[in-house]
Amino acid sequence: MTNSTENAQCIFCKTTSAPFTSIEHIVPESLGNTDYILPRGVVCDPCNNYFASKVEGRILGSDYFRQARHRNGIPSKRNRIPIQEALSFPDAMRLEMGIARDGSPYIGPADESQNDNFASRLLNSNRLTAIFPVADPPDQRLFARFLLAMGLEALADRMLPVPRGIEVDHINNQHLDEARTFARYGSGRDVWPFHEARIYPEGRHFHDLADGTSCDIPHEYTLLFTDNNELYFVIAIFGIQYSINLGGPEIEGFHQWLAANNDQSPLYPQGP
């Protein structure tokens, strides 16, 4: 598969007639991904647009991920870091904390008509107490579709160097059809289970062995093929590892793999 869209076929809907003008980020840009990209000709424009608005947009626009992206300074496609909402204590004024266009942090009332009251409070008090709400995780069914979409795209990326690899081993692989249908249309299953576990603290600094500097890792992923011939997509997002079976809605095989491998992460078989 090359960047050419000649004879292209979508890995999700399998169309050959839709436009293929867009590249596809395997992990969304709003999770900090600028490197892992599928070329044109792998995902058609209708599927690309659908996932962006109906799946990725709803997941990453949820309060849970907006708060996480704010805490970790991960901007959107438009290079804006999400606002963190809060309430002042004890008067429960709605506040917004964010990053201005010049990069400086700010906090202020969500309602501009409260600007004078907020300024007066700051001038007459030596402290400001704010309460930050804790958001629930996004809808589990939608999140499973989000994981499957990234997993199927990661698998396509792995097959790109192989001549006709995507066509033969992905599009024509009937074992992936249930996953691609559930990811794209949300049909066929009420539940597609996945495994979730924190493997390192959010915001942990990892040392770059090359030059001794440290860095944050907002996301990292791998594909795990087990001895039971099951294929799992494994991704860590802000230190939480999510694992999902691309071949069917079962997760028991991953539990068995963990038990056989001392509960080590497939991302860090020797420990993070």
CA pair distance 97, 78, nearest whole angstrom: 18
The predicted pLDDT at position 1 comes to: 38
Question: What integer pLDDT is reported at residue 3 of this predicted model?
Answer: 45
Contact between residue 63 and residue 150 where contact means Cβ atoms under 8 Å apart: no
Q: What is the pLDDT of residue 216?
A: 65
Q: What residues of the chain score a pLDDT lower than 50? A: 1-3
* Cα–Cα distance, 239 to 205 (Å, whole number): 11
Sorted by where each begins, the domain ranges of the chain are 24-61+138-205+221-260, 76-131
Task: Copy the structure tokens of residue 68.
Answer: 């996480």
Intra-chain end-to-end CA distance of the chain, in Å: 34
Place of tokens 């249309």: 185
Contact 8, 42 (CB under 8 A): yes
Question: What secondary structure letter does DSSP report for 42?
Answer: S
Res 2: pLDDT: 42
